[in-house]
Amino acid sequence: MITVGLLIGQWQLALYGLLGTITSTLTAYIIGLDYGSIRAGLYGYNGCLTAIILAYFSCAFYSPLIIGPILLMSAYSTIFLVAIAKLVAVRLGLSPFTFSSQMCSLLWLLGAMKFRYFSIDETLLTSGLLRTFIEKPSLSNITITQYSLIDIFAGFPASVSQVYFINSPLTGIIILLGILICSPILSFFALFGAIIGQLSAAYLFGLPAETIRMGLGGYNSVLTCQALGGMFFVLSGYQIWFFTLFGSIMSVIAQIAISVFFSPIGIPPLLLPSTLISWIFCLMAESSKNMIAVKLSAVSIPEDHLRRFHLTSLVKAHFEFLNNLSTILQKSRHDEDISIEDLTIIEAEFVPILLCSYAYQNDIKNLKALLHEGADVNSTDYDLRSPLHLAACGGKSELCVMLVRNFRANVNLVDELGGTPLYDAFCHGNFHLIPFLYAWGARMPGSKTTELAFCLCAFSFEGNLEAVQYLVACGVNPNLADYNGRTALHLAVCGNHFSIVKYLVEEGKASLSIADYYNQTPIQYALHLTDNRIADYFHHCRDQTSKQKPRKINIFMEDTFIDDDDDHDHDHDDDDGNQEQENNDEESSENISMTVEESLLPALFCMAAAEGDIKQMANLLEQFPEFRADSVDYDFRSAAHVAAAEGQLSSIEFLCEYSYRKNQDLSWIKREDRWGFSPIEEAYHYGHYEVANYLIERIKNNQNLILSNPKQNFKIKPIVISMRQWKKVLHFGALASNNEAELIDGLISTGVFLSSELYADYDGRTPMHLAAANGHLDVIKVLQRYGYDGKTQRDRWGNSALDEARRKKFTEIIDILLEDIV
C-alpha cells in the first residue's frame, strides 16, 4: 500500500525506489548474508532510500543515465550497512536505522559536484526553505508568521510523504493507512511525530508557510517518534510519552542545526537528525528504570512488545511462589521488573509450561487469562506439547471446546513423540472427544500409521468394537496389513467377532480377498470356524460392494459427546461426585489436589535438564528443599526422561549424584511416563547410547536402591493398559525384525522388557519367530541368553521359531536353536 502511495505521489521516484530495493536485496543475496534477514527486507530499505535520494537531487531525473549511479550506490548501501552494523549493532546494541542510505547518498552528492556527466539540481540544494536568519529582529518588531489551515493540515500528512522526498498530502495519508494495516500504534506515532514536528518548527523557527505546507519541518520527527514510541521501547508508563514528545522536538532542532552546518557545501540534512536523536535515546535507555528498551534481536511491531509486557506481568503473578524469577532466568539483576530482553524467553519457555499446567489441571480461569493477554494457544513446551494435547489426554471436553472454538487452537500439532491431540484422545481412551476434534479437522498423525494399523488388528482380535469403530472413523485404513500381511478383518474372523466383521465390511469397506503371509484370505479363515455365521455372511456379500455409506465421524457417537458436555461441571472440585466425569478424566483426583507450584516446578526442572543446565537445576533444588529431583510433570515425565531424550548425560549424572547425596532411591530410572516409556527407552529411542549405558550401569551397581515396581502417580484405564501392552509387543517385534540385538539386550537387562513375558502378538508370534524368519542371528543369541527358546512357543499355525528358520533355510540359526534344545 505504501508503494501505491508513492506511485500516486511521484511514480518516477517510486520506480527508482523499487530498483534500489531490488539491487540492494540482490547484493545481500550474492554476498551470502542471512537468508531470513533478506526475506525480512532488512537489506532493502536502505537501497530504496538511496535510490530515491539520488534521483530526487539529480538533474538527470528523467534520464536513464541516473540508473547507473542508483545501481552502484544501492548495492554499496548493503555493504555499508553490514559494516556499520558491526559497530553500532554488535558492540552498542543499536539499530543502524537509515544511516547507511544517508552516508551513501551524501557520498554521491558530494562527489557529484566534481562529476562531469552527473550533476546535482542546485535549486533543491540551495533552496531557502531552511535558511538561517542572519539579521535578528528586535523583540518589539517580531512579526508572527501567519499560517492558513491548509498550510497546517496539509503539512501533517505531507511530513509523512517527505520521508520518501515526495511532497504529497495524499501520499502521506495512503502511507499512514498502509502502516495502520501492519501496526496501528506505529501509524499513530507517525502522525503524532508529524504534528509535533510541524508545530515545533513553526513555533521555534518561524519557518515560511510554504515550508510548513510541504511538510519539511516534521519528516524527521515522524521517524524518531516511530522509533521511540513502541518500536525500540515498550509503550508502558507515562514516561515513554514524555520521552517520545521530547525526542520529536529535538529532531526538529537537530534538523535545523545540521541544515545550518551543511549549508556552506549546500548539502541537505536528509534523515540524519532522526537517526542521531534515536541513537542518543537508545543509548541512555539502560540508565533509565522508566524506559524499557527492546533488545535488537527481539524487535517487532509495538503491539507485540506491549503484548509481551502485559503477558510478563501475568507470568510474574503466576510464578509468585518463586522468590526471584531472575534466578530462573539466570540474570544478574535482582530488581522486580523483568527487562524486555527477557520477555522472549518468558514467552517461549515459561508461558507454554503455564498453559500446559493449567490445561492439565483443567484450570480454565487462569488459562483464559493468559490467552486473553496474548499468549499463543499453540505454544509448546520442551516436548512440543500444547495445551490441547493435555486437554485431549485428560478427556476434558469443555476445555477442548474452548481452546478450539474460542481460541482456534491448531488441532494437528505434532509433539516430540509424534502424537496429535486426536491421537492422544484415542490412546487415553477418551473416545467422547474424537467426534468433536475430527469435525474440526483433527487427524491421526501419518507417522503412526503402522502402529495404528497394528492396534486396529489387535482390537479386532480382542473384540473391542468401540475402539475399532473410532479408529476406522478417524481414517485408519482397515485394509492396511501388519508385518504378517494380516488385516483387521483377518483378526476379527480369527477371534470370531461377528459384529466387528460386519462393521469392517459394511462401513470400513474391508476387502475380503487380501491374502496374508500364509496366502490365506478372511474367507478361508472363516471356513475353519465352528460357528458358521461369519462364513455365511461372507457368502452373501462376497465380491459385492456394500451400498451403505461409511458413517460420518461428526455424526458417529454424537450423542456421547453432547451428553458429556451437558454433564461437565465447570467446578472441577465437584468431580468426585460425578462417576462419569471420573471415567472421562483419568487424572481428576490428582488435578484437584495439585497446586500451581507442584505442577510448574517439575516442568521448570525438566526444562533445565533438557538444556543440560546443571546450575539452574541446583538453584531450583536449593530454593525449594521439599522439591524432589524425581518429580514428574503434567505428562508424568521426570527430568531423567527429558534429559535422556535430549542426550544430556551431564543432567543424568547430576540426578544420580543428587540421589546418592540425599539417600534417595533410583527408581526414577525405570519409572514410566504417560506413554509407558522409561528414561532408558528414551535414550535408546533417540540414539543416545552413552546415556543408556550409563543408566544401565547405575542399575547394575545399585540394585538395592531401585524399587522393582516404581509407583505410578496416575490411574490408567483398561483400554490404555491394553494399548500399551500391544505397543510393547509391536515395539519388541519391530526391534527383532530390524536386527536391533544390542538395543534388545539393553532393554531386557534393565527390565524394560521382562524376560518372563513372551510378547507374543495376536497370532502367537514372538520376537523369536520374527528374528528367525528374518535371519537375524545376533537377536536369536540375545533372546536365548535371556531364556527364550525356539521350539516350545508355537504360533496360530503351529510353527515355532525353529520351523521359521527351517523354512527360510537359515542353517546357523537352525544349529543354534537345535543346540539350545539339546
| pLDDT tens per residue across span 784-794 | 999 888 888 89
Task: Tell me the β-bridge partners of 120.
Answer: 58
User: Could you report the per-residue pLDDT of 483-512, keeping only the tens digit for each?
Assistant: 889 999 999 999 999 999 999 998 888 999
CB-based contact 721:760 (threshold 8 Å): no
Cα of 303 vs its chain's centroid, Å: 20
Question: Residue ranges per domain, the chain?
Answer: 2-125, 147-298, 302-439, 446-541, 595-705, 718-735+753-821
Spell out the residues 6+ positions from residue 370 whose beta carbon is closer than 8 angstroms to its own. Answer: 311, 314, 318, 351, 354, 355, 358
Do 147-298 and 2-125 fall under one CATH topology?
A: yes
CATH number of 2-125: 1.10.3430.10
Q: Is the pLDDT of residue 317 over 70?
A: no
Rounded Cα distance between 749 and 759, Å, is 16
Average pLDDT over residues 375-390: 92
Is the domain covering 446-541 a CATH 3.90.1720.10 domain? no
Contact present, 2 and 174 (Cβ < 8 Å) = yes
Q: pLDDT tier at 137 (50, 70, 90 boundaries)?
A: low
Question: Quick check: 710 pLDDT over 70?
Answer: no
Average pLDDT over residues 61-81: 86
Kindly report which listed range (400-404, 578-582, 602-606, 698-702) carries the lowest average pLDDT score: 578-582
Q: Of the candidates 69, 29, 31, 36, which has an alpha carbon nearest to the alpha carbon of residue 53?
A: 69
Average confidence (pLDDT) over 24-46: 88
**CATH T-level fold of 147-298:** Ammonium transporter fold (1.10.3430)
Structural fold of domain 595-705: 1.25.40
544, burial (CB in 10 Å: exposed 0-12, middle 13-18, buried 19+): exposed
Give the residue-averaged pLDDT of 185-201.
91
Question: Residue 231 above 80 pLDDT?
Answer: yes
Mean pLDDT of 227-243: 83
Average pLDDT, the chain: 82
Is there a contact between 59 and 24 (Cβ–Cβ < 8 Å)? no
Neighbours of 631 (CB within 10 A): 17
Evaluate if residue 110 carries a pLDDT over 50.
yes
What pLDDT is attached to residue 819? 82
Tell me the mean pLDDT in the region 637-654: 94
42 pLDDT more than 90: no
Cβ neighbours of residue 787 closer than 8 Å, sequence gap 6 or more: 755
> For 466-482, how does the pLDDT look when each residue is reduced to its tens digit (9 = 90+)?
999 999 988 899 999 98
Average pLDDT over residues 371-375: 83
All three cell numbers of 775, joined, read 535371519
Query: According to the model, what pLDDT value does residue 209 have?
Result: 84
Q: Is the pLDDT of residue 124 over 60?
A: no
Query: pLDDT-derived band of residue 206, with 50, 70 and 90 as boundaries?
Result: confident
Predicted confidence (pLDDT) per residue in 356-365, tens digit: 988 998 889 8
Position 332 scores a pLDDT of 32
Cell of residue 18, nine digits:
523499487
Instruction: Write down the pLDDT at residue 301.
Output: 84
* Assigned fold of 302-439: 1.25.40
CATH code for the structural domain at 718-735+753-821: 1.25.40.20
Q: Residue 136 above 70 pLDDT? A: no
Rounded mean pLDDT, 531-543: 84
Specify the range with the lowest mean pLDDT, choosing from 57-71, 405-419, 700-714. 700-714
- 355, 387 Cβ separation under 8 angstroms: yes
What per-residue confidence (pLDDT) applies to 572?
39
Quick one: average pLDDT of 601-612? 88
Q: Are 44 and 3 in contact (CB under 8 A)?
A: no
* Mean per-residue pLDDT, 336-342: 48
